[in-house]
Amino acid sequence: MNGMPLASFETQVPGKWILAGEHSVLRGCPALVFPLESRSLSLAYQDKVSQGLTLELAGDHGEELQLLVWGVLEKACQLSKVSRADLRGVLRAHSSIPVGAGLGASAALCVGIAQWFLAMKLITTNQLYEFARTLENLFHGESSGVDIAVALSRSPLRFSRSGERASIEVRWQPHCYVSYSGKRGVTLECVNKVKSLLESNPKLGERIDQDMAQAVNLAQQALSSEEIQGLPLLKSSMDLAYTCFERWGLCVESHVEWLRQQGALAIKPTGSGGGGYVLSLWEKEPPLEVRKLLIPCFESGAKPAINSSQYLASE
Nearest alpha-carbon partner for 298 in 189, 156, 201 = 156
The residue type found at 231 is L
* 53-58 and 89-95 strand pairing: parallel
- Please answer whether residues 196 and 247 qualify as being in contact, where contact means their C-beta atoms are separated by less than 8 angstroms: no
pTM: 0.88
> Confidence class of residue 300 from pLDDT cuts 50, 70 and 90?
very low
> How many Å apart are CA 163 and CA 138, to the nearest integer?
22
Interval 8-44: pLDDT, tens: 899 999 999 999 999 999 999 999 999 999 999 999 9
Helix (H, G, I), strand (E, B) or coil at 208: helix
Residues 6+ apart with CB under 8 A from 182: 252, 254, 255, 275
DSSP letter, residue 65: G
Residues of each domain in the chain carrying CATH 3.30.230.10: 8-168
Interval 90-109: pLDDT, tens: 999 999 998 878 899 999 99
DSSP E strands: which ranges in 59-186?
Answer: 89-95, 157-159, 165-167, 175-180
- Please answer whether residues 240 and 29 qualify as being in contact, where contact means their C-beta atoms are separated by less than 8 angstroms: no
> How many Å apart are CA 239 and CA 160, to the nearest integer?
22
Interval 47-73: pLDDT, tens: 876 678 999 999 888 888 888 999 999
Residues 6+ apart with CB under 8 A from 122: 1, 3, 4, 80, 82
Give the sheet arrangement for strand 175-180, strand by strand.
266-269, 277-282, 175-180, 295-296
> How many Å apart are CA 250 and CA 232, to the nearest integer?
24
- Please answer whether residues 268 and 31 qualify as being in contact, where contact means their C-beta atoms are separated by less than 8 angstroms: no
Nearest alpha-carbon partner for 80 in 139, 131, 133 = 131
**pLDDT, averaged across the chain:** 89
pLDDT at 304 over 70: no
Residues 6+ apart with CB under 8 A from 214: 240
> What was the pLDDT predicted at 67?
82
pLDDT at 232 over 80: yes
> How many Å apart are CA 86 and CA 83, to the nearest integer?
5
Helix (H, G, I), strand (E, B) or coil at 288: helix
pLDDT at 301 over 50: no
pLDDT at 255 over 80: yes
Residues of each domain in the chain carrying CATH 3.30.70.890: 175-296
CATH of 8-168, one of 3.40.50.2300, 1.10.3720.10, 3.40.50.300, 3.30.230.10: 3.30.230.10
Instruction: Using the Cα atoms of residue 304, residue 37, residue 187 and residue 9 in order, give the sign of their dihedral.
Output: positive
- State the CATH class of domain 175-296: alpha beta
Helix (H, G, I), strand (E, B) or coil at 123: coil
Residues 6+ apart with CB under 8 A from 218: 20, 233, 234, 236, 237, 240
Rg (CA), the chain: 19
Q: Residue 163 region, left (φ>0) first, then alpha (ψ -120 to 50), else beta?
A: left
